[in-house]
Amino acid sequence: MFLLLPFDSLVVNLLGISITVLFTLLLVFIIVPAIFGVSFGIRKVYMKTLLKIFQWATLRIERGAKEKNHPLYKPYVNGIIAKEPTSLEEEIKEIRRSGSGKALETPEFELSDIFYFCRKGIETIMDDEVTKRFSAEELESWNLLSRTNYNFQYISLRLTVLWGLGVLIRYCFLLPLRIALAFTGISLLVTGTTVVGYLPNGRCKEFLSKHVHLMCYRICVRALTAIITYHDRENRPRNGGICVANHTSPIDVIILASDGYYAMVGQIHGGLMGVIQRAMVKACPHVWFERSEVKDRHLVARRLTEHVQDKSKLPILIFPEGTCINNTSVMMFKKGSFEIGATVYPVAIKYDPQFGDAFWNSSKYGMVTYLLRMMTSWAIVCSVWYLPPMTRQPEEDAVQFANRVKSAIARQGGLVDLLWDGGLKREKVKDTFKEEQQKLYSKMIVGNHEDRSRS
Amino acid sequence: LSREDFQRIPELAINPLGDRIINAFFPEGEDQVNFRGFMRTLAHFRPIEDNEKNKDQNGPEPLNSRSNKLHFAFRLYDLDKDDKISRDELLQVLRMMVGVNISDEQLGSIADRTIQEADQDGDSAISFAEFVKVLEKVDVEQKMSIRFLH
């Protein structure tokens, strides 16, 4: 007992000293650069080291699997079956041609037509383009997180030790650090914007507000260890425009807002989010909606138009997909934001899933679980491309304009451009698509019929 | 797997014969299919390899033979599973494929003509043997096969 007491105070002293040191380091290396917007480059070094370790780990798994003759599960990014991109008409003509030697203009309906529908249907059961966008992307090499490991078998002692070390670092060192930073960031945001809100309107307020926002977002970025590369910064959105981007997670907002000053659009939430939202509004005008107003599209459109037309107001940040997609593709953009008629500044965001998958599978994880997962991954690495502004041409309507912007974003980010609606995550497909297919087929049968009756 | 699980695939839901295809997975009267049943149905679509053609004189026919592939398609038409495609059944399937774009009389005449051409024993219905005869020149092996990437 006696021996414990001096030991006890020694431990307490050590603890005290280490906490002080930690905080000083925190302040110097992280918060101060955040305030001024410079970076020490620590994160880049971290990223490079991690990459080397991952490569070694993957090679080790492959070697181990070959030695033990275990079949390795390899995920395919482009689909598991060979598909031919031919249209309905071509396929059916080909089937008929091989069946009967008859001329192609005359046949009406053949029993063999069913092969086309049958095969297409079975192909989609095996591997379709839409449902795989709503779950996390599969990686081609392992990144030492057990959540992405499909081959988990004991391969070698070194690998397991490395993995264990990784877990230790992530949970015991990085996680508390990140939580502390996040806490600091959010509280600074709330207090900072409230304080600025008390100042009279004017240039001083604008200036301070902008910097408070930027600083807090930068702290949050570091809280997630997000390593962001911005491209083409000369195309950044300007006042009176609308910024559209593809949506993968709520972190997108933090990433974009740490590099530019935007007005946000969204529903008013309760709880912590609500407090943050109310505080932000005091410093500069964001557009927050009541839940009931969201359903009234005209009201929403009107408020957005008013905001956009006031040239002194900030560019609006909108995610037209409406829901989180897993960053392998871009789904249909809702046309509401494209009807307003302002200049659109497209932004493409592409995450590198090697270090941490940022996709929020909202049917699987809640917000808090999601944030914890983010904070316990290695890092969040992403690239942001600012694309040149686009405006709606006189002869295209909102839907065509939306599709044009979507293709530009998909091309830049290297994502697949899909016409399907992100809402399919939760709802069923509309029958109009089925009717289109039916119409196409009936033209094949009946169109020929008409030729025949004429001759 | 249940029927709703299949219907959640958007590209299958817009296929005019989607429901018939989903039905093909479920054996008589059941509403659930397990992995084994799922694989049995998908096995019909395995491409036919050359070395298989020689060895199967003695054993039971493999699921992906030409005859079994044709049988799969036949079952898509044969709604009441009586091994005959009657005029009504053909009409119903045609109606599924074209939706509301063709009138009943036109569809009826198309069905009549098809049965006339195929029917050989005069019972105004298409049996499996007649079905096979009509499609004897069609490249079934290639059209009803799905290749996996390695």
pLDDT beyond 50 at A103: no
As a whole number, the mean pLDDT across chain A is 74
Burial class (CB in 10 A: 0-12, 13-18, 19+), A45: exposed
pLDDT at A293 over 70: no
> Could you tell me which residue, A27 or A212, shows the higher pLDDT?
A212
User: pLDDT tens for residues A356-400?
Assistant: 777 777 677 777 777 787 777 777 888 888 888 888 888 888 888
Predicted TM-score (pTM) of the model is 0.69
pLDDT tens digits, one per residue of B66-87? 787 788 888 877 777 788 878 8
B-proximal residues of A, 150-209, CB under 8 Å:
none
Please give the Cα distance from A196 to A203 (Å, whole number): 12
pLDDT at A411: 86
Query: Averaging pLDDT over each range in A18-27, A93-102, A419-428, which range is the top one?
Result: A18-27
Q: CB–CB of A438 and B45 under 8 A?
A: no
Number of other residues whose CB lies within 10 A of the CB of residue A96: 18
- Tell if the CB–CB gap between B99 and A120 is shorter than 8 Å: no
Domains assigned to chain B = 1-44 (no CATH), 62-149 (1.10.238.10)
As a dihedral over the C-alpha atoms of residue B115, residue B120, residue B123, residue B129, rounded to 10 degrees, the angle is: -90
The per-residue pLDDT for A395 is 82
A108–B113 CB contact, under 8 Å: yes
Q: Do B110 and A424 touch (CB under 8 A)?
A: no
**What is the pLDDT, as a whole number, of residue A87?**
65
Kindly indicate the confidence band of residue A119, based on its pLDDT and cuts at 50, 70 and 90: confident
Q: How far is the alpha carbon of A422 from chain B, nearest alpha carbon, in Å?
A: 11
Residue A3's pLDDT band (cuts 50, 70, 90): low
pLDDT above 70 coverage of chain A, percent: 71
Query: Percent of chain B scored above 70 by pLDDT?
Result: 87
Q: Do A429 and B42 touch (CB under 8 A)?
A: no
Is the Cβ–Cβ distance between A291 and A268 less than 8 Å?
yes
Q: Locate the chain A residue with the closest alpha carbon to B4.
A: A428
CA angle B20, B25, B26 (to 5 degrees): 95
Report d(CA A236, CA A262) in Å as an integer. 11
| Per-residue pLDDT reduced to its tens digit, B93-130 | 888 777 777 788 887 888 888 788 777 777 778 788 88
Q: Residue A454: CA atoms inside 13 Å, Cβ hemisphere, count?
A: 8
Res A108: pLDDT: 61
- What's the pLDDT score for residue A307? 78
- Given a cut of 70, whether residue A270 has pLDDT beyond it is no
Question: Is it the case that residue A449 has pLDDT exceeding 60?
Answer: no
Please list every residue in chain B whose beta carbon sits closer than 8 Å to the beta carbon of residue A445. Answer: 98, 102, 110
Helix H segments across A109-155? 114-126
Asked if A441 has any chain B CB less than 8 Å from its own CB, the reply is yes
**Which band of pLDDT confidence, cut at 50, 70 and 90, is reported for residue A417?**
confident
